[in-house]
Structure 1
Amino acid sequence: MLRRDPCCWSGAGEAPQMAMPRNKLHGLVAATFTPMTQDNEINLSVIGQYVDYLVKVQGIKNIFVNGTTGEGLSLTVEERKLLAEEWINQGKGKLDQVIIHVGSLSIKDSQQLAKHAAEYNASGIAVISPFFFKPQSIEALTEFLKEVAAAAPSTPFYYYHLPELTGVSLNIVELLDGIEKRIPTFQGLKFTSSDLLDFGQCVHKYKDKFAMLYGKDELLLSAMVLGASGAVGSTYNYIGNLCNKMLTVTERGDFITAREHQAVVQEFIGSVSRFGFGVAENKVTMMLVSGIPLGPPRLPLLECSEEKRAKILAKLKILGILT
C-alpha cells in the first residue's frame, strides 16, 4: 500500500516556535476505533465515511487516533503510520484537530511515530506511559516523555494517563510542576482515571496553562464541574450529540438537565459493563448506531458475542439512542 505525501493541515500546519499557544484543545474528542476487515487487516476505505459521520451526525470535530479504543498497541508501527496519514488526510477541512497517539513500549518506536505524525502535520501527539518496564518516579516518566516529544519539536504534546491499564499510578499534579521547562511543546493531559482528587488538583493549579481533558465518559459531568477543558472518550463516537448537550447546559449552569444527560450515559455504560464492555463491545455499539463497518477487534481481544450484541441493541433502543 502506497503512503501519501505529507499533506498540509488547515489550522495546524504552522510550526510553532518558542512560544506555543496553550489550551487550544477543548470540548469533546472522539477516541476513534480502528476499522478492520474480517481478515483482521486495517481497513482504510471507511475512514472518510467515519469522519463525515462524526462531524455531520455527532457534532464531533476533534479525534484521538491509535489510542486504547483504536487498539493502537496491537498494531504494527507501519499500520499506525498508515492510519495516522488516512485520518489526517480525510479530516482535512472537516476536523479541527487530529491528535495521534504515539505511545509504545519502545522509545524508538514512539520517536519514529512522533516524527512521522509531525511530518504529516498532525495537530498534536500523545504518549501513554510504558507499562512493562514501568517508570518508577516522576523523573523517569518525565525523561521518557521529553525524549519522545523531542522527536517532534514543533508539535503539541499531551500525556495520556491511564493507570488502570499501565499500572503507573504516579501523582500527575507533580508531573505538571515545571514540565513546560523540560518539554516546551507540552500542551496538556488526557486523564483517564477515577482519581478526581488528583485531576482536580491538576485543574486547579494548571488549567490556565494546559488543556485538561478527562477520559472517563461516565464521570464527565463531575470532571467538567471541576473545570476540565474537555474530554476524550470512545462513547463520543456514537453519543457525541448527547454529551455535547450536557456540556452546553453545564456551561449555562443548568445542572439538573446536565445530570439527566449524564444519567443516560451512566445507565448505558453501567448496564452493559455488567456483562463486559471492552473495545469489542464498544466497537459493536458504534456499528449498530452508525452503520459503519468496523470489523472485529484484533487478538487477544475476542469478537463480541451475538448474545452481548443483542443486549447492547436492546439497551440502545430503551434509552432512545437507537430507534
Structure 2
Amino acid sequence: MLSLSIGHSLTRQISIVNELFDSHLNTIMNFTFRGLMCPVFTPFKPDFSLNLEKIPEYALYLKENNVHGILVNGTSGEGYSMNVEERKLVAEAWIKEAKKYNMHMMLQVGGAPLPDVITLAKHAEELKVDSILTLPELYIKPTNTNDLVDYLEIVSKAAPNTPLLYYHIPMFTSETLSMSELITEAKKSVKTFKGIKFTSNNLTEGKAAFLASGNDCVVFLGADSVLLDAFILGFDSSIGTTFNMSNLGFDIMELMKRKDNTKMTEARECQEKLSAVITTISQHGNWVQTMKAAMGLLTKIDVGQPRPPLKSLTRAQIKEISNGLVKLGLKVNI
C-alpha cells in the first residue's frame, strides 16, 4: 500500500512539473509582434560573395523608416541560394543590428535538407532570434497535414525556446494543403508553433487561416498586392518586400487602424498605387531579381545583383522600370 502511495505521489509530482514547464513555455512562446515586417535582401558583391559590410547601413536605413521587424534569409533574402555557413553569417550580421535597434528578427531556416534545417534552427536559438520561419520539405513533400505537422515538430525541437512559424508560398513550393487545418492541428501538438506567413492571393483561404489562428497565433500576409483587402478581412500583420522601398504599405495600415470609413477611399488609392508599382517592377522577371533592381532605384541601399541561377536585369529593363516608376510619381536614383 505504501509503494502504491509513493507511486501515485511520484506520478503527481511529474504531472506538476510538466504543468509548470508547459506554463513556463507558454510564457516564453508569447509571440506578440504584429504589424508590418520587411523581408530583407541579402547584399552580394559583384562576384556573388556575401557583402556583409552593407548590413549596418541597411539596418540603419530601415530603422530611420520606422521598420520594427525584419525577416532574414527568406525568399527576398535568397536563403535558398546560400550554403549553411553563409546563412549563419548573414544571420549573425543581422542579429547584431536587430538588437541594436530593437527590431524583431525572424529567421527563415527552411529550404534545405532536414539535417541542415535542424542545424540552422539550433543556430537561430543560439543567436536568440525572436522567431523562426520554415518552409516545408521541398523534395519529399508532405502529402497531408499530419506529415507537415510532424515536420514542424522536428524543427521545433531543434529550437525549443523560439517561436516557430510556417512559410506557405505555394507558387514556389507547390504545397497546397489547407492552412486553416494546419494551424488547427499544429497548435495541438507543436508547442512553439505561433502562426504562418501566408504568401498567396487566395484570400478565401487566407481568411479561413486567420480565423483558425485565434488569439494565440498570427497570420502574416505575404502578398503586397492584396494588402488592403486582407486588412478589411481582419488581418493585422504582413511581411512584404515592397516595405523595403515604399511607405505605401505603412500608409494603408495606418489608414485602416483609424477605423474611419471616410479614409477608405484614401486607403484604396494607396493600394492601387502600390499594385501599380508592383506591376511596373515585376514585369521583367522573377520577383527577387526585379525587386532587387527596384531597391537600387528607390533607395540609397545597394544590395547588389541576385545570385545565380537568377539573372541580373539588363540596363534596358532597369531603365524601363525606372521610367515606369517616375510616371507613377516616385523619385528614382537614375
Tell me the alpha carbon deviations over residues 125-148 of structure 1, each in whole angstroms, 9 at most, x when there is no partner.
000112222111101111111101
- Alpha-carbon distance, 1:64 to partner: 0.4
Spell out the pairing of 1:198-237 with structure 2 (5 A cutoff).
198-237=205-244
What amino acid maps onto 2:295 in structure 1? Answer: M
Query: Residue 285 of structure 1 corresponds to which residue in structure 2?
Result: 294
- Alpha-carbon distance, 1:21 to partner: 4.9
- Give me the whole-angstrom Cα distance separating, in 2, the residues matched to 1:272 and 1:61: 25
- Give me the whole-angstrom Cα distance separating, in 2, the residues matched to 1:180 and 1:248: 30
Spell out the pairing of 1:1-323 with structure 2 (5 A cutoff).
17-56=25-64, 58-239=65-246, 241-253=247-259, 254-322=263-331
Does the CA contact (< 8 Å) of 1:22 and 1:211 recur in 2?
no
- Alpha-carbon distance, 1:24 to partner: 1.1
- Give me the whole-angstrom Cα distance separating, in 2, the residues matched to 1:231 and 1:91: 18
SS in 2 for 1:275: coil
Does the CA contact (< 8 Å) of 2:293 and 2:313 recur in 1?
yes
TM-score, scaled to structure 2: 0.88
Tell me the alpha carbon deviations over residues 101-128 of structure 1, each in whole angstroms, 9 at most, x when there is no partner.
0003311111100110110110110001
Q: Bigger shift: 151-160 or 276-285?
A: 276-285
- Alpha-carbon distance, 1:265 to partner: 0.7
Query: Residue 3 of structure 1 corresponds to which residue in structure 2?
Result: none
Query: Residue 9 of structure 2 corresponds to which residue in structure 1?
Result: none
- Give me the whole-angstrom Cα distance separating, in 2, the residues matched to 1:201 and 1:23: 20
TM-score, scaled to structure 1: 0.91
- Alpha-carbon distance, 1:278 to partner: 2.1
Q: How many residues align?
A: 306
CA RMSD of aligned residues (A): 1.4
Does the CA contact (< 8 Å) of 1:22 and 1:210 recur in 2?
no
Judging by fraction of residues, say which structure has more helix: 2
Q: Higher relative contact order by CA 8 Å / sep ≥ 6: 1 or 2?
A: 1
Tell me the alpha carbon deviations over residues 56-114 of structure 1, each in whole angstroms, 9 at most, x when there is no partner.
0x321100000110111110000000000100002213142010000033111111001
Larger gyration radius, structure 1 or structure 2:
2
- Alpha-carbon distance, 1:317 to partner: 1.8
- Give me the whole-angstrom Cα distance separating, in 1, the residues matched to 2:132 and 2:278: 28
What amino acid maps onto 2:283 in structure 1? Answer: R
Does the CA contact (< 8 Å) of 2:195 and 2:213 recur in 1?
no
Q: Which runs of 5+ in 2 are unaligned?
A: 1-23
- Give me the whole-angstrom Cα distance separating, in 1, the residues matched to 2:286 and 2:62: 22
- Give me the whole-angstrom Cα distance separating, in 1, the residues matched to 2:130 and 2:232: 27
- Alpha-carbon distance, 1:277 to partner: 4.7
- Give me the whole-angstrom Cα distance separating, in 1, the residues matched to 2:130 and 2:85: 20
Does the CA contact (< 8 Å) of 1:272 and 1:311 recur in 2?
no
Q: Which runs of 5+ in 1 are unaligned?
A: 1-15
